[in-house]
Amino acid sequence: MTGYFSDIAPLRFDPESDGLAFRHYDADRIVMGKPLKDHLRFAVAYWHSFVWDGSDPFGGGTFDRPWFPADSMELAKQRADNAFDMFQVLGAPYFCFHDHDVRPEGDSLTENHRRLNEIADVFEHKMEDTGVGLLWGTANLFTHRRFMSGAATNPDPDVFAWCASTVRACMDVTHRLNGENYVLWGGREGYETLLNTDLGQELDHMGRFLSMVVEYKHKIGFKGQILIEPKPQEPSKHQYDYDVATVYGFLKRFGLENEVRVNIEQGHAILAGHSFEHEIALAQTLGIFGSIDMNRNDYQSGWDTDQFPNNVPEVALAYYEILKGGGLTQGGTNFDAKLRRQSLDADDLIAGHAGAMDVCARGFEAAAKMLADDALEQPRRERYAGWTNDAAQQMLKSDLASIAERAEADDLNPQPKSGRQEKLENIVNRYV
């Protein structure tokens, strides 16, 4: 059987190429002591590339894939064959999936789990043969109508129980496939109207559910990170995991701040009114940075359009904050990105990912260079230099009245200094 991608040769690094190749991403190039591929840790999202059919709120599918509709196990396996072919064309080291992406929905929980495990057997072999790893697994607790009023926050306790069973099965499979992380994106954990919502009770249930996930992780000896993916809205009007700051408050409240980290998506940061680098820097500062979904939104539409990244300066600032905090470690760069619905062909899928990998490589290398040159850290240190002297440090251990007395005795009259933003922006522009 010939595969959907069999006409496309594995991509090579060729800066001069005008066909399908990497012009910037040289996987084995050593940067800051290790190969780029080990820094960037790219992952392909199963759902957007192999499940989504191009439909939008106004029209049905536009893509014609040989494994569609994948409503039988046979077609689901054909989908898996083609997915692994694509990972190899791209040289992608990782992939990510939801249960719902990889197996058709059964008519019971146990049938769902049986099918999931049957596909996991297929994955296990393919991962062994190809060396492709699982960056993260997750459960889809938002597509089926049973989740319309939430998953762990559903008013119906049977839905809570359904979710417990599904998440357990997905964690087991992620563990079996040596997944490096397990993600919980709060799909429909939020609400449409307060008129029918007990907000306090829903948050309590969500906290309890997450605590159970963490307990289960330790029980089975799963070494991956548990990650929450914040998003402010869509599908629900008010999502509980609004942004990094909100998630941190939630984790603190349930005593989970040392157990759970965040998977930050560029597009979700924008929806929350933040820049990607802000969300990353905040998570690093709070000690909860885990991984990234590297996909942008359309800046005008206000929707989560999940487009491949194509803006080097933006990507550079994101990787800059990641590198400053010590890199991706167990996390990775997941392209939670889909084609535009008019991009019908197999090579569109390859081009979308290849271009994204090139953009990330360029941004990453710029970030590494800025860091190595101390280009931004030196002026930043200078700006806070006053705090390095003893008197300033003593003040932090002192009290309001003592500080006040000293300030008044010295007749302080601080003079403003320039923040030099334009100069700093000019420095960044030399690198990107």
Q: List, by residue number, the catalytic residues.
A: 98, 101
Measured in whole angstroms, the distance separating CA 337 from the mean position of its chain's CA atoms is 11
Window contacting Ni ion (CB under 5 A); options: 32-40, 60-68, 218-226, 335-343: 335-343
336 binds ligand XLS (CB under 6 A): yes
Q: Which does 138 bind (CB under 5 to 8 A by kind): ligand XLS, Ni ion, none?
A: ligand XLS
Cβ neighbour number for residue 259 with a 10 Å cutoff? 18
Give the residue with the Cβ less far from ligand XLS, 24 or 268.
Answer: 268
- What residues numbered 82-141 form the site for ligand XLS, per CB under 6 A? 98, 138
Give the residue with the Cβ less far from Ni ion, 101 or 304.
Answer: 304
Shortest distance (Å) from residue 309 CB to Ni ion: 13
Q: Please give the helix or strand (H or E) that residue 40 lies within, else none.
A: helix 36-40
136, 263, 325 from 288: Cα distances, Å: 17, 9, 11
Could you tell me if 91 and 45 are in contact, meaning their C-beta atoms sit under 8 angstroms apart? no
Instruction: Show the site string, 143-182: x = touches ligand XLS by CB under 6 A, - = not.
Output: ----------------------------------------
Shortest distance (Å) from residue 7 CB to ligand XLS: 29
Among 85, 172, 229, 259, binds ligand XLS (CB under 6 A): 229
Give the residue with the Cβ less far from Ni ion, 90 or 264.
Answer: 264
Query: Quick one: which of 255, 256, 266, 317 has its CA closest to 291?
Result: 266
Q: Which does 241 bind (CB under 5 to 8 A by kind): Ni ion, ligand XLS, none?
A: none
Alpha-carbon torsion 149, 150, 151, 156, what sign?
Answer: negative
185 binds ligand XLS (CB under 6 A): yes
DSSP state of 50: I
Three-class SS state of 183 = strand
Shortest distance (Å) from residue 337 CB to ligand XLS: 10
Q: Which does 321 bind (CB under 5 to 8 A by kind): ligand XLS, Ni ion, none?
A: none
Window contacting Ni ion (CB under 5 A); options: 11-19, 261-269, 388-396, 417-425: 261-269
Annotate 393-431 with DSSP letters as a single string.
HHHHHS-HHHHHHHHHHTT---------HHHHHHHHHHH
Give the residue with the Cβ less far from Ni ion, 185 or 254.
Answer: 185
Phi-psi map region of 262: left, alpha, beta (phi>0 left; psi -120 to 50 alpha) = beta
Among 99, 265, 279, 365, binds ligand XLS (CB under 6 A): 265
Among 172, 265, 277, 314, binds Ni ion (CB under 5 A): 265
26 binds Ni ion (CB under 5 A): no
Give the residue with the Cβ less far from ligand XLS, 183 or 356.
Answer: 183
Could you tell me if 324 and 368 are in contact, meaning their C-beta atoms sit under 8 angstroms apart? no
Q: Which does 99 bind (CB under 5 to 8 A by kind): ligand XLS, Ni ion, none?
A: none
167, 168, 170 from 173: Cα distances, Å: 10, 9, 5
Instruction: Show the site string, 277-316: x = touches Ni ion by CB under 5 A, - = not.
Output: ----------------x----------x------------
Give the residue with the Cβ less far from ligand XLS, 240 or 431.
Answer: 240
Alpha-carbon distance of 287 to 258, in angstroms, equals: 8
| N- to C-terminal Cα separation, the chain | 45
Q: Residue 54 has which token pair?
A: 């191009």
Give the residue with the Cβ less far from ligand XLS, 229 or 358.
Answer: 229
- What residues numbered 272-301 form the site for ligand XLS, per CB under 6 A? 293
Among 180, 259, 304, 365, binds ligand XLS (CB under 6 A): 304
Query: Quick one: which of 125, 137, 129, 69 has its CA closest to 97?
Result: 137
Shortest distance (Å) from residue 169 CB to ligand XLS: 16
Shortest distance (Å) from residue 354 CB to ligand XLS: 21
Q: Which residues contact 303 (CB under 8 A, 6 or more apart)?
A: 234, 297
Q: Please give the helix or strand (H or E) that residue 43 lies within, else none.
A: strand 42-45
Give the binding-site size for Ni ion (rule: CB under 5 A). 4
Query: Quick one: which of 145, 137, 242 has its CA closest to 189?
Result: 242
Give the residue with the Cβ less far from Ni ion, 5 or 95.
Answer: 95
Instruction: Please give the backbone phi and psi of residue 419, each rounded to the nearest 5 degrees, phi first.
Output: -85, -10
Shortest distance (Å) from residue 285 CB to ligand XLS: 23
Give the footprint of Ni ion on this chain (CB under 5 A): 265, 293, 304, 336
